[in-house]
Amino acid sequence: MNLKGQNNIRTKQTNRSQVLQALLRLGRTSRQNIAELTHLTSATITNLTAELIREELVRETGNLEENRKRAGRKFIALSLYEDAYWVVGVHISFGQLEFGLVNLGGSVKKQRKLDLPAALSEQQFADLLLTELQTFMDGIQEVDVQAIGIGCLGLINFENGVVLDAKPMNWQNIRLAELVASAFKLPVYVDNNVRCMALAEKMFGGSKLAGHFLCLFIGEGIGSGLVLNDDVYRGGLTGAGEIGHVTYVHDGFDCWCGNRGCLEQYASNAAIVRQLKAPSLDAVIQDCLKGNAEAQKAIRQAGRAVGTVLASYINMFHVDQIVVAGHLADENLPFMPAIREEVARRSFLFNREKVEIAFAAIREQIGVIGAASLALHYEVFKK
Ligand SMILES: [Zn+2]
């Protein structure tokens, strides 16, 4: 874990950010535990927590009994005041738009989901987004929204908030951050939706303590977000994580990306539905749960395809954990066991030191919580 503050060299702002992130990781905790995690002096912690309490981002919440070194002593507990800060998360996925009102603790207090009509031009989408977002914002009377985070499918330039290429929706060069910021006069952040999900799992989910992990999202396509050294990895201009377009079958099915045999063509929701000529993924899942052999085989085979690609990935980046999100990542389906079996069969590094392959802790709401996490991360925790 890399959460060391510095008393002299770095700015007060950095130390403040370390204290807030420590509170996110530790939950209800003491000043002593924050000092231990951040390596900041107790005087620095005292000053910073006093400031955060004055701003009402942090509250004193009774006493903590436990302390390993000084048994029996009581310490004052500190917690983030979760309702102190509110953002709106906007999740744009294939054919769907979701809005969520989310607090500092990553809880969704209000949510709206709508289907996007097929064949929307960039301009039609921008108009629809602004209208629907305005309606959602108008419905929020109880709190002040401080920022907006947007997670969108496709290649995104995080620096300027531009959707460069969302091929499945046929969109190019939408200046999303500029558009939304000028309409709502709020700070706006835009990133790839699966990178946002990785951030949500790091901040509020099951990966708070994992320094290096991959978040994989199986939806209509397959995307991933990588956290390295406790931070989202963005590679070059458009970021990284197009694991859905790793070649799985040499000379396999044509893919919209220009390659052939991409993993996405064999293991995504769309691939399974197409293969079985089923009406929807839900129908395949229901069949699978009822014991239909064909549905079970298709889901298991998709898991094996993901496991095959992940084995190579693990051999390249021996991350601590792989987190899988999406409807197929369900305890009652054979998808995850098939991934684990295939990885164990193929990756010697996995067998040398096990990588945890886990379900995402945040389920249905991971899209909007992810988008909101982006705004919370840059406006509060890492400001
Ligand atoms: Zn592809």
Neighbours of 182 (CB within 10 A): 11
* Same domain? 236 vs 332: yes
pLDDT (0 to 100) of residue 379: 96
Ligand 1 center from residue 264 Cα (angstroms): 7
Indicate if the pLDDT at residue 30 is higher than 90. Answer: yes
pLDDT (0 to 100) of residue 355: 92
Number of domains observed in the structure of the chain = 3
Ligand 1 center from residue 269 Cα (angstroms): 15
Ligand 1 center from residue 107 Cα (angstroms): 34
pLDDT bracket for residue 241 (50, 70, 90) = confident
Ligand 1 center from residue 261 Cα (angstroms): 7
* Same domain? 350 vs 236: yes
Ligand 1 center from residue 98 Cα (angstroms): 25
* Same domain? 344 vs 372: no
Averaged pLDDT for residues 53-60: 96
* Same domain? 251 vs 219: yes
- 372, with CB counted inside 10 A (0-12, 13-18, 19+), is buried
User: What percentage of the chain carries pLDDT values higher than 90?
Assistant: 84
* Same domain? 93 vs 66: no
Return the closest-CA partner of residue 199 out of 185, 186, 213, 188. 213
Averaged pLDDT for residues 324-352: 95
Task: Give tens-digit pLDDT for 271-282.
Answer: 999 999 999 999
* Same domain? 211 vs 190: no
pLDDT (0 to 100) of residue 73: 73
Ligand 1 center from residue 222 Cα (angstroms): 10
Q: What is the extent of the structural domain holding 281? A: 207-359
Ligand 1 center from residue 167 Cα (angstroms): 11
Q: Which residues contact 14 (CB under 8 A, 6 or more apart)?
A: 5, 6
Ligand 1 center from residue 58 Cα (angstroms): 46
133 vs 235: CA distance, rounded Å: 30
1, part of any domain: no
Ligand 1 center from residue 252 Cα (angstroms): 11
373 vs 210: CA distance, rounded Å: 17
Ligand 1 center from residue 361 Cα (angstroms): 28
Task: Give tens-digit pLDDT for 309-320.
Answer: 999 999 988 899
DSSP string of 312-330, one letter each residue: HHHHHS--SEEEEESTT--
Point out the domain boundary residue: 59, 80, 101: 80
Averaged pLDDT for residues 280-286: 96
CA distances to 148, 198, 319, 365 from 225, in Å? 20, 5, 12, 17
Report the CATH number at residue 46. 1.10.10.10
Residues measured by CB to lie within 5 Å of ligand 1, the ion = 245, 255, 257, 259, 262
* Same domain? 319 vs 376: no
Point out the domain boundary residue: 80, 100, 126: 80
Return the closest-CA partner of residue 326 out of 362, 293, 284. 362
* Same domain? 316 vs 179: no
7, part of any domain: no
Residue carrying the six token digits 């959707």: 163
